[in-house]
Amino acid sequence: MPTRVRSHAKVNLGLGIGAPRADGFHTLATVYQILELHDLVTVSAQPARAVEIRLTSNERRVPTDGRNTAWRMVELALAELGLTASIEIHIEKRLPVQGGLGAGSANAIAALAGLEAELQHQGLPIMYQNRDWLAKRLELAARVGSDVPLFLIGGTVLGLDRGQQVYPLPDIEPVWCVVAAPAVGVSTPQAFRDWDALCAAEGLTPEASTDKLNKLSRAYASAFAGAIPRERLKAGSSGVLPEHAQGEDLAGPQESALVRTGITSWIQNDFERVVFRQHPSLAEIKRFLADCQTPEAARPASCLLASLSGSGSALFGLYLTRRAAEAACERLQRAGVQVFLTRTLPREPYWRDMLEVS
């Protein structure tokens, strides 16, 4: 019987970028946060004499060949395990394509989780229960993409180097999140080229970047470390919004670590400096999310943080109450912007509810 897996989105709670390195990459420091918003990935596996992969999707823009991250992840895993199998993968897209939400990267890990479950169900030889395989999964994920490994941890995650070095942070209490998915397209390669030009103009060197990002990563770790007692995480949080929690205010003004630690006073996404210049409409959407018409003193009780996610074009806002989040949705919908209402998702329910039960 096929295995269906929730493939969750992520946002970046801050993103620091360094100057271009000699290898052409950029050193990053970021905090990834998993959301309840998700695609669905269905995987089936049958024994076969050779590796056969077939991939389908309800979204025509999703590659259905070896360019797809889910395809590559499964192919690498089978090769590493020394197994052959006939694999079918179906990706039901619910998340924006290329929106800065890590949807394709999450699909890769969802496909891996589905493959592992299928190998176990089909009675095929498996290795993934041992420690060596757990470490190998992270290595394979990094080969597929820089932000793929974060989905092997879930919850709140510190990302360093190219983003592929990932470390679990203490989870924040669940808060409401509004994701804005504008029709504007943002080219990540162009965003990096614009950032490189800005670094050259401002004289930011790779050496200076290292110092800047080291300080930023320590600030992230310090701000999140021990900020949220484990027992205060909402036990009812899951991969989907249960009906009884639809009106729930998930964290009060004195409870959210995003308020207590003052993180939101300094956390930022460096890409906004170049992306907003090229796409002023995205800066306007951020203002809608933050509700800049709200008196300054009232803002902490409304929007905790509004930001671009990754290089965009998706943006997000975090809110203490469902009422504030719904108000942001209404503002954006009146402006003709597609929105999604969701919540942040801690690590434990991320893994507990990843595999859907039929």
For the annotated catalytic residues, the residue numbers are 10, 147
Side chain identity at residue 43, one-letter code: V
Minimal CA–CA distance to 177: which of 346, 353, 11? 11
CA distance 269 to 74: 32
The DSSP call for residue 5 is E
Instruction: Return the number of other C-beta atoms located less than 10 Å from residue 160's C-beta.
Output: 19
The DSSP call for residue 93 is -
CA distance 181 to 312: 9
Say if residues 89 and 55 touch (Cβ distance below 8 Å): yes
**Beta bridge mates, 342:** 177
CA distance 10 to 342: 11
User: Which sign, positive or negative, has the C-alpha torsion 169, 324, 352, 147?
Assistant: negative
Say if residues 285 and 182 touch (Cβ distance below 8 Å): yes
CA distance 1 to 176: 35
Q: Whole-angstrom distance between the N-terminal and C-terminal Cα of the chain? A: 10
CA distance 126 to 130: 9
Q: Exposed, middle or buried, 67 (CB in 10 Å: 0-12/13-18/19+)?
A: exposed
